[in-house]
Amino acid sequence: MTASLTVAIIAKECRPGHVKTRLSPPLTPEEAAEIAAASLADTIDVVAALPVARRILFFDGAPPAGLHRRGFEVLPQPLGGLDERLGFLFDAMSGPSVMIGMDTPQVSAQVLTGPLTRWDESIDSWFGPAVDGGFWALAMREPNGSLIRGVEMSQPDTGAQQRARLVRAGLSIRDLATLRDFDHVEDIDEIAMDAPRSRTAQLWNAMRSHLSTRTER
C-alpha cells in the first residue's frame, strides 16, 4: 500500500497569536507558538520517514524551509471553515490518502501501521479518534471531500459526526488508536509522557520550570 499512498499534514504557520491560542494563558503567545512549531516539526519528521508515494503539507501561511528536499509538496489552504478546507484537501488527493493534524507529535509509523500496510480491498476508510471527541487522522481509499463538508468542527461530537458521515456513505471503516491532541497545557503534559524523546516533550520540559516560577509570583 505504501507504494501508492499519500499522507498529508494539515497545519498552520506557527506565529504568536495565530496558533494554539487556547494555551494562552498560562503560556505566552510566543511560548504557544514555540510548542506548536515543535509539534509540527515532530510530525514532519515522522511523515518524512514513511515510505509513501506522496507527502503533502496542507498549509496556512508561510511554510517551513526545506520541505521539498524532504519529499514534501506544499498545498496552500483556501479560505473557509475547517470542514471546507478539509474537503478541498481530499478533493485534491487521488488514490488511497491519509490526513493527520500537526498537534499529535506522539504519532508514529507504528500508530499508522493500518493504512500503511494493511489496507486491503475490504477497507474503504481509516479513522483516528481524538480524546477530546474530534479526530486526529482520516483516510479514504477514494478521497471525497463531500464526506467532510458540513461536519461541525471543534465540537465535542465532531469525531462522531465525521464517522457517522462515512458510515452513511456506505464505507467500511477501521479505527486507529485514540490519540490526544493538545489545546490545553494539561494535554501537553500527557503527550510529553507518551513521547519523551520528541521535540515537543523536550521543549515542554524546559518550559515547565519557567512556567511554575512565573505562576508562583
CATH number, domain at 109?
Answer: 3.90.550.10
* Kind and range of the H or E run holding 189: helix 185-194
The count of domains in the chain is 1
Distance CA 165, CA 29 (A): 36
Residue-level pLDDT at 120 = 82
Other Cβ atoms less than 10 A from the Cβ of 69: the count is: 8
Distance CA 30, CA 35 (A): 9
* Kind and range of the H or E run holding 54: strand 54-60
At residue 1 the predicted structure's pLDDT band, cuts being 50, 70 and 90, is low
Q: Are 96 and 115 in contact (CB under 8 A)?
A: yes
Q: Are 168 and 148 in contact (CB under 8 A)?
A: no
pLDDT digits (tens, 9 = 90+) for 189-216: 999 999 999 999 999 999 987 776 555 4
Non-local CB neighbours of 193 within 8 Å, separated by 6+ positions = 201
Residue-level pLDDT at 131 = 96
- Pairing verdict, β 125-129 and 135-140: antiparallel
State CA 20 to chain mean position distance.
Answer: 13
Look up residue 134 and give its DSSP letter.
Answer: S
Residue 165: Cβ-neighbour burial (10 angstroms; 0-12, 13-18, 19+): middle
Distance CA 134, CA 151 (A): 11
Indicate left, alpha or beta for 20 from its phi (over 0: left) and psi (-120 to 50: alpha). Answer: left
Residue-level pLDDT at 3 = 63
Distance CA 23, CA 33 (A): 9
pLDDT digits (tens, 9 = 90+) for 126-158: 999 999 999 999 999 999 999 999 999 999 999
pLDDT digits (tens, 9 = 90+) for 61-98: 999 999 999 999 999 999 999 999 999 999 999 999 99
Q: Could you list the residue range(s) of the whole structural domain that residue 116 is in?
A: 2-216
Mean pLDDT for the chain?
93
Other Cβ atoms less than 10 A from the Cβ of 173: the count is: 14
